[in-house]
Structure 1
Amino acid sequence: MRAKVVELPPEQWSVCLREHHPGYVSWPDYLATRERLRANVRPRGEGGGAAREGAALLQGLIRCGHCGRRMQVAYSGNGGRVPRYACVRGRDLHATGQACQSLGGGRLDRAVADAFLEAVTPAGIAATAGAIRELEDQHAERLAGQRLAVERADFEAERARRQFDACEPEHRLVARTLERALEEALAAAERQALARLARDLPRLWGAETTTDRDRKQLLRTLVREVVVTVNTPERRAAVEVSWEGGARSELSVRLNRRGPERRRLADDTLELIRRLAQHHPDRQIAQILSRQGRPTGTGLAFTETRVRAARQRAGIPAAPPPDPDSELVTIAQAAAELEASTATVRRWLRDGLLAGEQTTPGAPWRIRLTDEVRRRFVPDVPEGFVALAEAASLIGCARQTVLQKVQRGELRAIEVTKGRRKGLRIEVPTASLDRLINE
């Protein structure tokens, strides 16, 4: 016959004499130590346990959103410092041949760390303190009602001790007043201490002397568990952070691309190269993409060689050589032909005297310079054309409205290029001139 010893939880003990004799630790310390040891236990086949020295911030906290098992940590990359979380317990148990889900740890760790640091900012602490105060007020109201009921019952039950009860209410009032003042003083001191901690914690978190293990222990003071569900087609992960106290936060983390996808250009960048290659050479395209801050598939800056390689991989033909007889010219070419500065040409574009195209912000303008457009630039003021301010007064609208009408083609405009009256002139409708003459 073999006997087996089974340890029961404290709530099932038949006898428990707390503080029966002086011990090495107090009863609350004993319970806290038991809970810490239980949390540090590493279950068979699962991650978890105490915070360790690895770089994975969520080691022991992260759980699979599909099957509910804890996810394991693996390291790779330069120096074995790049963490990756994977749920492989289902594969090991059921021989499925593939992990339930896996994802890189870099972006996930940063997202949870940012949420943690945001929670301990002064604003976050103030919001949390406000919620706690509201819960405490509700609890205090219920507790006060229960205490009054108990006091009334005690007063009726101990009517025989009237000599003590005669002074008991006064004692209670004094005790409650002192207790309330002490609690308010302690609460104010605790709020100030939390505010100081909130200001110092981000600097402490990023300090070189703070180890990965230190960061994990800091994180575990507030974060109880992190549940992750990977959406592979969308390359995103839904993250649910469970905080100490029962609150929950939901995050969305974009996942790294893997394999050939890591070197693939973003779709919008490739489409922009396709449109730019119709008019611009590779060197100019590289300048435009760099000006917009667009990287290559590997995160590098664009050069002429990289643009050419991306264009050839996608089967995009190079821009044809410029046609000398084309109506489309650059700003510099338009300035030379119209005998003006490039700044003046840009102003004419803005005012609507010239019509131009721009494939994307930062790309060179292509100005359509036809014979009709050239006739808008004259040495003298023709009859019926007035200055912008006078045109606005005659038409009865603001100057900006007049310019908008010119840009939409509702009013004709010319540019006088010589003499004292050079500048923009607007043709005023005949009805407006007749009204001015009649007045």
Structure 2
Amino acid sequence: MKECRARLAETSSSHRSIQPPDFSGLADDLVRVWNAPGVTTRPRQQILRTLIADIIADVDDTNREVVLTIHWKGGQHSVLRVRKPKTGEHGCQTPDQAIEVMKQMATRYSHDDIAATLNRMGIRTGQTKTWNGHRVSSIRRVQGIHAFRPAEKDGQWLTMKEAAKCLNVTSHVIRRLIVDRVLPAEQVVPGAPWQIEACQIQSEDVIKAIHETKGPYRRDAQEQI
């Protein structure tokens, strides 16, 4: 009997000496584990399943947000609000520089002209692809950028090709006049096609320079016949 009492006393004493685990550092440990090098998606998923009971998603159309209510296994809950993507928006975001170029070129240039300019500037799409007219049109539509309308072109501004046709010379001659600052021209952004005011192509300086230049001339249709 004495031996049994001694064992019971020893067991009771050992139980009293055991300290309860300290969970105060679990939050910091979780951050370290989550961001530790070599941790893959699978253990992170296991951590989430261990900690989270369920997640309820709702949509706040007024503020264009997705509202996530997280129910934790411990009985607490948290609310997380995430911006709702716009129609056509995805993870491969179009560079802001490309959007800005489109906005500046929108009213004067076609989709193909803008695509060519973006490619010359070395700007890629959000998926690191080169631009074409269809891709420019798609981004313009999503961003609400005013599209090019040929009917709105009133002849006030000319491209190099149009100016060359009016003066019966090649585009090379027009480019040389622009470089030599004889013919005033504008670029909406660096790398964009030159835009020439129609009234400038008939100035005395331009006409004189064309007569003096030794560059190749365009012959009109009658001369070619």
Calculate the TM-score normalised by the size of structure 1: 0.29
1:349 to partner: Cα distance? 0.4
CA contact (8 A) 1:332 1:342 kept: yes
Aligned to 1:328: 157
RMSD of equivalent CA atoms: 3.8
Q: Which whole-Å CA distance do the structure 2 matches of 1:359 and 1:371 have between them? A: 18
1:415 aligns with 2:195: no
Q: Which whole-Å CA distance do the structure 1 matches of 2:30 and 2:205 have between them? A: 69
Structure 2: runs of 5 or more not aligned: 1-9, 12-27, 54-88, 215-225
Partner SS for 2:150: coil
Aligned to 2:95: 266
1:288 to partner: Cα distance? 2.4
Q: Which whole-Å CA distance do the structure 2 matches of 1:273 and 1:346 have between them? A: 24
CA contact (8 A) 2:163 2:201 kept: no
**Could you say which structure has the greater relative contact order, defined with CA pairs below 8 angstroms and 6 or more residues apart?**
2
Calculate the TM-score normalised by the size of structure 2: 0.53
Aligned to 1:363: 192
Partner SS for 1:309: helix
Q: Which whole-Å CA distance do the structure 2 matches of 1:332 and 1:321 have between them? A: 16
Aligned to 1:8: none
In 2 relative to 1, CA 65–332 (structure 1 residues): closer, same or farther, beyond 3 Å?
farther
1:340 to partner: Cα distance? 2.6
Q: Which whole-Å CA distance do the structure 1 matches of 2:173 and 2:29 have between them? A: 62
Deviation string 1:267-292 (CA, Å, 9 cap, x unpaired) is 22112122222111112222222333
Q: Which whole-Å CA distance do the structure 1 matches of 2:160 and 2:201 have between them? A: 18
1:298 to partner: Cα distance? 2.9
Structure 1: runs of 5 or more not aligned: 3-63, 77-84, 98-259, 379-413, 425-439
Q: Which whole-Å CA distance do the structure 2 matches of 1:351 and 1:262 have between them? A: 45
CA contact (8 A) 1:330 1:364 kept: yes
Q: Which whole-Å CA distance do the structure 2 matches of 1:65 and 1:332 have between them? A: 67
Partner SS for 2:127: coil
Counterparts of residues 5-44 of structure 1 (less than 5 Å): none
CA contact (8 A) 1:334 1:345 kept: yes
CA contact (8 A) 2:177 2:206 kept: no
1:375 to partner: Cα distance? 2.5
1:73 aligns with 2:42: no
Selected match of 1:301 from 101, 125, 130: 130
Aligned to 2:171: 342
Partner SS for 1:356: coil
Partner SS for 2:131: coil
1:290 aligns with 2:116: no
Q: Which whole-Å CA distance do the structure 2 matches of 1:328 and 1:360 have between them? A: 16
CA contact (8 A) 1:354 1:373 kept: no
Amino acid at match of 1:302: W
Q: Which whole-Å CA distance do the structure 1 matches of 2:168 and 2:145 have between them? A: 37
CA contact (8 A) 1:262 1:298 kept: no
1:313 aligns with 2:142: yes
Amino acid at match of 1:73: V
Aligned to 2:24: none
1:353 to partner: Cα distance? 0.9
Partner SS for 1:370: helix
Identity of aligned residues (%): 23
In 2 relative to 1, CA 65–341 (structure 1 residues): closer, same or farther, beyond 3 Å?
farther
CA contact (8 A) 2:160 2:174 kept: yes
